[in-house]
Structure 1
Amino acid sequence: MATTRNAALAAFLTEHQMTASELADAVNHAISDLTGRQGATSERTVFRWLSGESRWPQERQRRALEAVTGRSITALGFVPRGKRTSVSASPAEESKVYRREFCGAATHAAAAVAVPFLAAPSRVGTADIIRLREHGERLVALDADRGGHGTLAQAALAGAAEALTLQRQSTTQRVRQRLLALASDFTATAAWSSIDAGQLDVASRHLDRALTLAGLAQDSDMTMQVWNLRAMLARQRKEYGEAVAASQAMLTTAGARRSPLHASLAYARTAVGFAYRGDRHEALRCLGRAETLLEKADLAQPRAPWIAFYGPAELHCLSAIVRDQTGDPAEAEAAYHQALTALPTTYRRNRAYTTACLALSQLHQGDVEQACATRGCPVNDLRYAG
């Protein structure tokens, strides 16, 4: 009987950048936490799971897999033998996993950003990385829905502090580096939230810290994320030369060199910097490179949460900004319409921002009534234009 590859488990490993050896190690540690006895799962065992040769792990391995991943055993692609229909108890019932509220008071937003962690962990490893990474993903989703705010920034900084605490307890260099990268990611999230809230000096301090942590982690993807935010911050401060320099720094990272998607974002951000600096030729040249590179990118491939926002909709929006700044408001308006059409419904903050920019591009063409209709304000109320 032919075996079927476990695509769900393989996708989980790819998403979380885990090797078979790391998963085996995490499962063994979870078995020890659950039973008091060290597990004996090997790298070969994981390969058998991935190949489909072993379709239903032992009971303690199933419980450990659920505790490590936070997913049910069937969601991980495993199939019960024979007539068995039940799966093992949830990790919330079977393992010593607790949740902590980083933000104190039980507002709806605070509940949304609570981060799970092991109470008094005896070991630090892949399971901790997964939990913290999923917490970061929740913060990114919350930002897409609500935009930057104080609660989100506080939760992100708490996540960074937790990652740094764990890395000091870690016994392996690889785990330490991954935790440092997570600390950088959380700190960058706090910086972005501060930028979105108009707290530019606070954001600058966070970005300085995030860049240091990315360097300690030797993580080029996190380094690129920081330069991306630095370019956005410089533009808001009207420091357009620094915005261009930060965007060009993005292009020197390993991520931009190996990934058309990352390179496309870097060129698009550079184009915006040149447009605000008044260099139309360079702005349009970089915009053309961004469009060409995005066509080459495989948008179905897993990507880090920080760059999940980038795709056709975001490039249309950045193109519109470039066109508006270089004196083509009609082309900008068309690009904003394309951005709104392509924008996922979950990106509520981006949709509100893009709609406001669309109204401004219409106003720049002298179409006051259409601009006000787009913005949803009375014709005699043009305060938003400032």
Structure 2
Amino acid sequence: MDRRAFLADSLGAAAAVRLPAHVRPLTPPGNSGAVGTTHLVELREGLRSLYHLDDAYGGTAVRSLAIRHLRRVRRVINTGKYPDTIGRQLQLLSGEIAGYCGWLHFDADDQDNARRYWGEALTTATVLRDADLEIRVFSQMSLQATYEGRARDGLDLARAAQERATSLGSPVLQSISATRGTRALALMADGTRARRRLADAMRLLDRNGRGRPSPEWAAFHGPTELEYAQGLLYAELGNHQAATQFLRAALAHQESSYGRNRALYGLTLVRSLIDAGEVDEGAARAVEALEHLEEVESGRVMRRLAEVAGALRHVDAVSARDAAEQLTQYSKAKGAA
């Protein structure tokens, strides 16, 4: 296969997203030769670029690119010539991208399509018997379950992920699964077990480097993620003063490259400040947050923005009413754009 031809189709054809310079174009293979390691590396680099875009801008902005990349990989699988070893890697990559499409649709708040893509990814994981892909999908489906208020399902999915992560010997993947379980238990109002599970997540993260290396997709998980999880835990248990302390720390420690998470953390902090009675600070931070949302396209973030606006409207204070009005106008303008 002509590598230059393979790189001719643009991964960044969607102009709505600012693609970084290192994203290079890709095309489906022709019939002129075999798919080799170089082509596989290029396809993986395309997925890696999508990770960076999602971190910065959110899933709504990136999902169409991911769907195109998934179709591209599937065309390579169905039309290319390659040995079995390359074929397995292509199939695994297809499953990883399908799972990632599930995540992006989840972040865009398109839950039915998220389930569909995760189902495709799990099918691939089962056929290939790939535990890492199973862990990834189960942990993300656990997050979705708690997001939708299905705490028991969230706990069961987190357990499934943790069982596989334990067998795989990856402390970081075990920590991610334990963190998902923490959220589910908090929603079930089981504070004792939720605290214990979060302590497990912290202990496991401290063991990073001693077991199996964590995969690239797990790079988001670290002390900042656990600070955020602890803030959510305290908020769910009604200790809003403690929640604000951990949410402040999570926001302060979150890297600037994670634009979507910074937006989500900031709005979650605002909600806890309101619940803790710190209305003026919450209102001020809510208005400040609008400046950081311009380039973020995430259904989850916009839902959190609507929740914060609703909470502010129910507070009898001038600062709260003014902030609620600004948030509402911003949401309308962004929705019309």
Q: For the residues of structure 2 that align with 1:354 and 1:215, how far apart are their CA atoms?
A: 34
1:182 lines up with 2:101 in the alignment = no
Per the alignment, residue 301 of structure 2 pairs with none
RMSD: 2.7
Equivalent-residue separation in structure 1 for 2:72 and 2:82 (angstroms): 16
Q: Which residue does the alignment assign to 1:154?
A: 64
Displacement of 1:103: 6.4
What is the match of residue 101 of structure 1?
A: 10
Q: Does 1:225 align with 2:136?
A: yes
TM-score for the superposition, normalised by structure 1? 0.69
1:359 and 1:105 map into 2 onto residues whose CA distance is: 33
Quick check: 1:356–1:375 contact (8 Å CA) kept in 2? yes
Contact 2:122 2:134 in 1 (8 A): yes
Secondary structure of the equivalent of 2:267? helix
Give the aligned partner of residue 213 of structure 1. 124
What's the CA shift for 1:264? Answer: 0.8
The number of equivalent residue pairs is: 292
Q: CA deviation at 1:364?
A: 1.4
Report what 2:223 is aligned to: 312
Of residues 167, 175, 186 in structure 2, which corresponds to 1:264? 175
Partner of 1:13: none
Contact residue 230 and residue 243 of structure 2 kept, 8 A: yes
Query: Aligned partners of 1:256 and 1:344: how far apart in 2?
Result: 31
User: What is the deviation of 1:205?
Assistant: 1.0
SS in 1 for 2:209: coil
Label 1:322 to 1:257 Cα distance change in 2 as closer, same or farther (>3 A): farther
Structure-2 separation of matches of 1:352 and 1:365: 20
State the shift of 1:135 in Å.
0.5
Q: C-alpha offsets along residues 195-224 of structure 1, whole Å, 9 cap, x if unaligned?
A: 111111111111111111222232211111
Q: Which runs of 5+ in 1 are unaligned?
A: 1-32, 35-66, 68-94
2 CA distance for matches of 1:100 and 1:315?
A: 40
Aligned partners of 1:158, 1:263: CA distance in 2, in Å?
31
Q: Which residue of 2 aligns with 1:201?
A: 112
Contact kept? 2:170, 2:213, Cα under 8 Å: no
Q: 2:75 aligns with which of 165, 184, 197?
A: 165
* Partner amino acid, structure 2, of 1:323: Y
2-side partners of 1:251 and 1:218: how far apart?
16
Give the match for residue 320 of structure 2.
Answer: 379
Contact 2:11/2:46 (<8 A) preserved = no
User: What amino acid is aligned across from residue 178 of structure 1 in structure 2?
Assistant: Q
d(CA) in 2 for partners of 1:249, 1:268: 13
Residues 169-178 or 288-297, more deviating: 169-178
* Contact persistence 2:172–2:214 (CA under 8 A): no
Q: List per-residue Cα deviations over 1:278-306 (Å, max 9, x = no partner).
A: 2111111100100111111139x964332
Instruction: Establish whether residue 250 from structure 1 lines up as the match of residue 149 from structure 2.
Output: no
User: Comparing both structures, which one devotes a greater share of its residues to helix?
Assistant: 2
Distance (whole Å) between structure 2 residues aligned to residue 369 and residue 298 of structure 1: 44
The aligned residue for residue 242 of structure 2 is 331
User: Is the contact between residue 144 and residue 349 of structure 1 (CA under 8 Å) also seen in structure 2?
Assistant: yes
- Contact preservation (8 Å) 2:235, 2:243: yes
**8 Å CA contact retained: 2:66, 2:97:** yes
Per-residue CA distance 1:302-337 (angstroms, 9 max, x = gap): 643321111111111111111211222222111112
Unaligned runs of 5+ in 2: 289-318, 329-337
Residues 101 and 111, structure 1, Cα contact 8 Å, conserved in 2: no
What is the match of residue 332 of structure 2? Answer: none
Identity of aligned residues (%): 23
Letter in 2 for 1:265: I
Shift of 1:233: 1.3
Q: CA deviation at 1:234?
A: 1.0
Moved more, 123-132 or 269-278: 123-132
Inter-partner Cα distance in structure 2 for 1:255 and 1:174: 27
